[in-house]
Amino acid sequence: MSEPIDTGPMNPDFRCGTIAIVGRPNVGKSTLLNHLVGQKLSITSHKPQTTRSRIKGFVTQPDVQFVFVDTPGYQNRFSNALNRAMNRSIITTLNDVDVVLLVIEALRWNTDDQWVLNRIPVGVRPLLVINKIDKVKPRSLLLPFLKKCGEEPRFAAVIPLSAGHDDNFGGLLSEIRSRLPVAPPLYGVDEVTDSSERFLAAEFIREQLFRLLGEELPYATTVMIDQYQEEGNLRRIYATILVENDNQKAIVIGHNGEKLKQIGTRARQDIERLIEGKVFLELWVKVKGGWSDDERALKQLGHGL
Ligand SMILES: Nc1nc2c(ncn2[C@@H]2O[C@H](COP(=O)(O)OP(=O)(O)O)[C@@H](O)[C@H]2O)c(=O)[nH]1
Ligand SMILES: [Mg+2]
C-alpha cells in the first residue's frame, strides 16, 4: 500500500523529475541505477549492449522523487537496425528529461564518450558522473583527472563515485535534487519501477545468458515468457530461449543440461529476490524460425488464435 506523500502546503518544495543516465557501453549505468534504487532492475554484464530497452527506477524521499531512466548503451560502432532504434530511443529520452547524468569511467575519457557528449543537446549541461573510482591505482591519479573535468564548462558538476561499491549516493542525489522542478510525485512511495514482473523476469534470464555464455552467443538469443502465473507468493514461469541454430541450442543447454540449469537457477534466485516469494521456473531452448515460433511471435503481437 502506498503512503500518501505530503505535497500540499506543508511541503511546498517537494520536487520531482526525470533523470536520464547516459554513457558509452560498460561504464556502469545500469549498476548505478540498481544501487540508487537499492534493488536489481536493470541487468548488467561486462559485455556491451546488455541493456536493450529503457528501464525506469524510482527513488522517493520525504522532499523529492527521482525518476531515473537507464538507457541502452549509446554506441556508434555498428549501425544495424537494433542500434539505430536504441540510439533514437536515447535521443528521444534526452529531449524529455530534467537532468542528464553522463557516466564515464575514471581516467578513461575516450572517443566514444566524446561521441555521446556530442549527442547531448547543446542547451543541456549534464552532470558528469565519474564511475569506478575504486579501480584507480594509484589513487593520486584521480585528483588531476577530477580537476581537468571540473574545468570543462560543458559539465554542470562533476561527481566521482563507485556505483558498484558505494552505499551512500547523497552527494549525487543532492546535486540532482537542486535541478529538479517543484512538482508532485509521479509514482507511489513504495513503487520502484513501472516495468512489469513478467518483463523483469525475462530480463533476468537474459542477464544470465550474457553472463554465462561466450562472447558472441548472447547477442543471438531472445527470451520469451510463454506463461506467467501468480499464485499468492508463488510464480510459475514458463519461458523459452530462442537461438538461431542447433549448434547454439546445444551450447545453451550444455553437457547434461548443466548450462541451462545454471542459467535457470541464477535467474530464479534473482526473480525470487524481486518478488520476495517463491519461483518455479521452467526454461526451454528452441531454434528460431520454426513454425511454432512464428505462431508465438504472432501471439505476442496480439494476433494469436
Ligand atoms: N570496479 C567497478 N566495476 C563496476 C562499477 N560499476 C559497474 N561496474 C562493472 O562494470 C560492468 C558494466 O556495468 P553495467 O552497469 O552493465 O554498464 P552499462 O553498460 O553502462 O549499463 C559490470 O561488469 C559492472 O559490474 C564500479 O563502481 N566499480
Ligand atoms: Mg546497461
Q: What is the pLDDT of residues 259-302, one digit of tens each?
A: 999 999 999 999 999 999 999 999 999 998 754 445 555 455 44
Q: Which three cell numbers stand for residue 167?
A: 552505499
User: Cis peptide before 138, with omega less than 30 degrees from 0?
Assistant: yes
Q: What is the CATH number of domain 15-177?
A: 3.40.50.300
Cα 33 to middle of ligand 1, angstroms: 11
Question: Of the ligands numbered here, which is closest to the C-alpha atom of 132?
Answer: 1
> Under DSSP, is residue 210 helix (H, G, I), strand (E, B) or coil?
helix
Amino acid at 36: L
CATH class as words, domain 197-300? alpha beta
Q: Which of 176, 253, 251, 259 is nearest to 216 (CA)?
A: 251
Which atom number of ligand 1 is nearest to the Cα of residue 73?
19
Counting Cβ atoms within 10 Å, is residue 4 exposed (0-12), middle (13-18) or buried (19+)? exposed
- Best mutation site among 21, 27, 29, 31 for ligand 1 pocket (most ligand atoms within 8 Å of CB): 31
Break the chain into its structural domains and give their ranges.
15-177, 197-300
- Measuring from atom 5 of ligand 1, which residue has the nearest CA? 164
DSSP 182: B
Full-model pTM = 0.85
* Cβ atoms 71, 90 nearer than 8 A: yes
C-beta 137 within 6 A of ligand 1: no
Question: Which residues have their alpha-adjacent CB atom under 5 A from ion ligand 2?
Answer: 29-30, 51
pLDDT digit of tens for each residue in the chain (305 aa)?
Answer: 455 555 554 578 999 999 999 998 899 999 999 999 999 999 988 887 777 778 999 999 999 999 999 977 555 555 566 566 666 666 677 878 999 999 999 999 999 899 889 888 888 899 999 999 999 999 999 999 999 999 999 999 999 999 999 988 999 999 999 999 999 999 999 899 999 999 999 999 999 999 999 888 888 899 999 999 999 999 999 999 999 999 999 999 999 999 999 999 999 999 999 999 999 999 999 998 754 445 555 455 443 33
Which helix (DSSP H) or strand (DSSP E) does residue 207 occupy? helix 197-212
Return d(Cα 206, Cα 221) in angstroms, integer: 8
Residue-level pLDDT at 292: 44
C-beta 134 within 6 A of ligand 1: yes
Q: Measured in Å, how far apart are the chain's first and last C-alpha atoms?
A: 37
Which helix (DSSP H) or strand (DSSP E) does residue 16 occupy? strand 15-22
Residue-level pLDDT at 256: 96
**DSSP-derived pairing of the beta strands 55-61 and 64-70:** antiparallel
Residue-level pLDDT at 47: 83
Residue-level pLDDT at 25: 87
C-beta 46 within 6 A of ligand 1: yes
Residue-level pLDDT at 122: 84
DSSP per residue over 223-241, as a string?
EEEEEEEEETTEEEEEEEE
Angle at 17 between CA 194 and CA 154, to 5 degrees: 120
Residue-level pLDDT at 259: 97
Which helix (DSSP H) or strand (DSSP E) does residue 157 occupy? strand 157-160
